[in-house]
């Protein structure tokens, strides 16, 4: 089953994802997509690593995340995908953002439905504020919105996390 956790920056969505990860069936893995390109982001990644139990395996995938997801599905257990927006950033850097939806469906397809392994997807929700002034920012927001909608369509559980409080949008939060 796919669980989608949406929210703003520092909303608590990753913390909720990590709690759901360790509560799910083993093996537990984190699929990390962010790249530490500055000191602040390196510190954020380090804080995420310290918050996880040491036995949780971390797979750093970047733009190859959908291939890794497809390959990891056969291992079962629970996988935390953190995060969809940083995967899209990585794809944007690789100039393949136009092909993200077919790749996303291929990578996440094995997790859809109640019979598959558990996949927890973290993503920033877009569109709650003003429209970006720059064309590149608008294209990214549009693409992320499309990706979020595609994952939500596959997901059995969708939650919006605001100030650390998860609100159920689809499915039954447990």
pLDDT digits (tens, 9 = 90+) for 5-42: 999 988 999 999 999 999 999 999 999 997 777 888 78
Residue 148 pLDDT greater than 80, yes or no = yes
- Cβ neighbours of residue 41 closer than 8 Å, sequence gap 6 or more: 34, 35
Active site residue 28: no
CATH superfamily of 2-170: P-loop containing nucleotide triphosphate hydrolases (3.40.50.300)
Q: Where on the phi/psi map is residue 81: left (φ > 0), alpha (ψ -120 to 50), or beta?
A: beta
pLDDT of residue 173: 59
Helix locations, the chain, DSSP H? 13-23, 39-51, 65-72, 84-93, 100-108, 135-154
| Contact assessment for residue 126 and residue 151, using Cβ atoms and an 8 Å cutoff | no
Q: What per-residue confidence (pLDDT) applies to 98?
A: 63
What is the phi/psi pair of residue 77, to 5°?
Answer: 75, -150
Active-site annotation holder among 48, 119, 147, 151:
48
pLDDT of residue 95: 55
Distance CA 100, CA 91 (A): 8
What pLDDT does residue 159 have?
Answer: 98
Residue range 94-112, pLDDT digits in tens: 555 667 888 999 999 999 9
Instruction: Compute the distance between CA of residue 39 and CA of residue 86 in angstroms, rounded to an integer.
Output: 17
pLDDT tens, residue by residue, 35-93: 777 888 788 778 877 878 888 999 989 889 999 999 999 999 999 999 999 999 888 75
b/e per residue 14-37 (b: at least 16 CB within 10 A): bbbbbebbeebeeebbbbbbbbee
User: Quick one: how far is CA 118 from the chain centroid?
Assistant: 13
Confidence tier at 135 by pLDDT (50, 70, 90) = confident
Bridge partners (DSSP) of residue 30 are: 58, 80
* pLDDT value, residue 43: 85
- Domain range list for the chain: 2-170
Average pLDDT, the chain: 89
Q: What is the pTM of this model?
A: 0.91
């Amino acid at each position: 089953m796919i669980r989608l956790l949406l929210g703003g920056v520092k909303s608590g969505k990753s913390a909720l994802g990590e709690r759901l990860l360790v509560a799910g069936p083993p093996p537990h893995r984190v699929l990390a997509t962010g790249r530490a390109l500055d000191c602040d982001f390196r510190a954020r990644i380090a804080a995420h690593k310290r918050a996880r139990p040491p036995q949780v395996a971390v797979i750093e995938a970047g733009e190859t995340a959908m291939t890794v997801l497809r390959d990891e599905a056969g291992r079962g257990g629970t996988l935390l995908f953190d995060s969809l927006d940083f995967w899209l950033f990585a794809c944007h850097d690789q100039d393949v953002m136009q092909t993200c939806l077919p790749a996303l469906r291929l990578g996440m397809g094995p997790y859809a439905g109640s019979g598959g392994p558990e996949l927890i997807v973290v993503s920033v929700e877009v569109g709650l504020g003003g429209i970006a002034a720059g064309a590149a920012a608008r294209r990214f927001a549009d693409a992320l919105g499309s990706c979020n909608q595609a994952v939500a369509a596959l997901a059995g559980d969708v939650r919006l996390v605001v100030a650390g409080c998860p609100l159920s949008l689809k499915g039954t939060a447990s």
